[in-house]
Amino acid sequence: MAEIIPFRGILYNESKVSGEEVVAPPYDIITPEYKEQLSAKSPYNIVRVDFGKELEGDNGSENKYTRAAEYLNSWLDKEVLLQSKTPGFYAHEIEYIIGGQPKRLRGFFGLVRLEELGKGSIYPHECTHSKPKADRLNLLRACRANTSPIFSLYNSPEKEASGVITMVMRETQPCMEAKDPEGMIHRLWAIADAGDIEVIKNDLKNRAVFIADGHHRYETALEFKKELDKLSAISYKLSAKPWDYVLMFLANISDGGLTILPAHRLVREIPGNSLDILSKYFDVEILTSMEKMGESISRYEHALGFCRHSNNNQYILKHKGAGLEDSHPALKGLDVTILHELIFKKLLHVTDIEYEMDLKETAEKVQKGLYEAAFFLNPTRIEDVERVALSSVRMPPKSTYFYPKLLTGMVIYKFNF
């Protein structure tokens, strides 16, 4: 079973800084221009640590990773960052609007003991790329801290931990609050009561933990643990070491506050007779308006949208059911599998793929000729994520876009050794 424990979190000192000036979105969605804007907000913005700038003259001893460690330690010395005096969990709520409807995502921050993925109680659902892992590993080596949490899910219909979180939010004041540029409000509460901590730990006993967002960070933390285990085999005698754990935000699927959005695909090259090739495995329907694309594909269990620069029409591709006989049973019923395994690999031989979350912007990039074609997807369902993860297989990268995104800087875990 997954081991989840409280910890002495490091939080910004709101008597010295404003939450909105120091937090940042996840590193992988920050553009170079926005990185500059975040840095300009405050000399203590977390982007300087979690996703620092590369400078001319950087070398092995002076670079964005060494600067990150210097910032982090300096802010602790100046008490811009404060470490909690006692271990606890940290309740977290994101208040947001999606499709015109208000929603609340609730959960808590805790430490989860690292284990090999799929061999215990922690399950991935997506494949990863090597480049982001190298960057995250270098940051871990320098800072010896988790500055950006992993977004994970569990499913507890009993909602015992959820009840504690709701009670804490109702009866106490948040220790941090920040509004992000999209208007979402992020709040944080400390959970220090021993009884509340035990309720949360007991509710998650024997629960599977599914990584929603942060596969790269988890795999990096596991690799870093193995490095330190080798270095400390003689000198560090404790059975549970600080680097045996990783910072996670855990949300209960049964609470219903989560949203999954699709990531649409853009490709630069595609065969000229693509529709003829696709028609063997798909019923092809012409769509009169791109504005109806999302609504139209949502009507079908397995359908993809398609458009290309050299053709003014838009299409719905309805899968006939064949072509994926060699795929794992847990994967073959997914639209992302149909797209990647059948269309990209077997039929059109597409390898250069880009991702875009906004449907309108995806279509505009094709219309402007920046890309030759686009494929539009329905969102992956949460029950599909659970099924795939428990089957110990993985979806293609960017099969899910969990929303809302966690802010970096709400709470930090630093290895004290």
CATH number at residue 285: 3.30.1760
Name the domain count of the chain. 2
Q: Are residues 276 and 339 in the same domain?
A: yes
Q: What is the pLDDT of residues 61-86, one digit of tens each?
A: 999 999 999 999 999 999 999 999 99
The long-range contacts involving 278-282, CB below 8 angstroms and separated by at least 24 positions, are 278/306, 278/317, 278/343, 278/347, 278/348, 281/319, 281/320, 281/322, 281/323, 281/342, 281/347, 282/317, 282/318, 282/319, 282/320
Q: Are residues 33 and 102 in the same domain?
A: yes
Please indicate, yes or no, if residue 361 is contained in any of the structural domains: yes
> Which of the four pLDDT bands, split at 50, 70 and 90, describes residue 129?
low
Please indicate, yes or no, if residue 8 is contained in any of the structural domains: yes
Q: Are residues 273 and 244 in the same domain?
A: no
Q: Are residues 135 and 284 in the same domain?
A: no
Maximum distance among all Cα pairs of the chain, rounded to whole angstroms? 69
Please indicate, yes or no, if residue 392 is contained in any of the structural domains: no
Residue 400 carries which side chain, given as an amino acid letter?
Answer: T
In sequence order, the β-bridge partners of residue 413 are: 146
Which residues form the domain of 354?
263-378
Q: Are residues 125 and 247 in the same domain?
A: yes
Burial of 127: CB neighbours in 10 Å, binned 0-12, 13-18, 19+: middle
Kindly report which listed range (64-73, 166-175, 332-341, 395-404) carries the lowest average pLDDT score: 395-404
Q: What is the pLDDT of residues 281-340, one digit of tens each?
A: 999 999 988 989 999 999 998 999 999 998 888 999 999 999 999 999 999 889 999 999
| Average pLDDT, integer, range 338-356 | 96
Q: Are residues 243 and 292 in the same domain?
A: no
Q: Are residues 324 and 219 in the same domain?
A: no
Q: Are residues 226 and 191 in the same domain?
A: yes
Q: Are residues 78 and 125 in the same domain?
A: yes
Please indicate, yes or no, if residue 395 is contained in any of the structural domains: no
Please indicate, yes or no, if residue 70 is contained in any of the structural domains: yes
Please indicate, yes or no, if residue 148 is contained in any of the structural domains: yes
Q: Are residues 64 and 193 in the same domain?
A: yes
Q: Are residues 283 and 167 in the same domain?
A: no
Q: Are residues 229 and 286 in the same domain?
A: no
